[in-house]
Amino acid sequence: MTATLRTRLQRLLSFRSSSRETESGQSIVVVIFSVFALLGLTGLVVDLGYAYYAERSLQASTDAAALAGAAELPNLSTAVATADSYSGRRGAKNNTANLPPVTATVTTKCLASAPGCSPSNAVVVDQKITVKTSFMKLFGVGELNLHRRSTACSPCTSKPLDIVIVLDRTGSMCQDHWGGSDPSCADLNSAREGIRTFLSYFDSRIQWVGLAVFPPAPSLSQRCNTPVTTSYNSTGSPYVIVPLSKDYKTGGSLNPSSDLITTLNCQKGGGRTAYANAIEKAQAELDTHGRSNAQDLIVFFSDGAANIGPTYYSTSSPYRKQPCHQGMSSAAGVKSKGTILYSIGYDLNAENGGANKCTTWDDKPESPTITAYQAIQQIATEPGAFFDKPGPGELNSIFNRVAADISSGSSRLVDNNTP
Q: In 3-state terms, what secondary structure has residue 174?
A: helix
At 31, the amino acid letter reads V
At 359, the amino acid letter reads T
Contacts of 51 (CB under 8 A, 6+ apart): 131, 144, 146
Contacts of 157 (CB under 8 A, 6+ apart): 115, 206, 207, 407, 410
C-alpha torsion sign, points 363, 365, 368, 374: positive
Please report the pLDDT score of residue 9 as a whole number: 47
Q: In 3-state terms, what secondary structure has residue 139?
A: helix
**Helix (H) or strand (E) run with residue 259 in it:** helix 259-265
Please report the pLDDT score of residue 73 as a whole number: 80
Q: Do 411 and 154 meet the contact criterion of CB atoms below 8 Å apart? A: yes
Q: In order along the chain (419 residues), what is the average pLDDT of each group of 10 residues?
A: 54 50 55 56 69 84 88 84 86 69 91 73 92 77 87 79 98 95 96 93 90 98 97 98 96 91 98 98 98 96 97 98 98 97 95 92 96 97 93 88 75 70
At 258, the amino acid letter reads S
Please report the pLDDT score of residue 40 as a whole number: 56
Q: In 3-state terms, what secondary structure has residue 285?
A: helix
Q: Do 200 and 116 meet the contact criterion of CB atoms below 8 Å apart? A: yes
At 199, the amino acid letter reads L
* CA 405/CA 409 separation, integer angstroms: 9
**The pTM is what?**
0.69
Closest CA to 106 of 78, 145, 134: 78
DSSP state, residue 359:
B
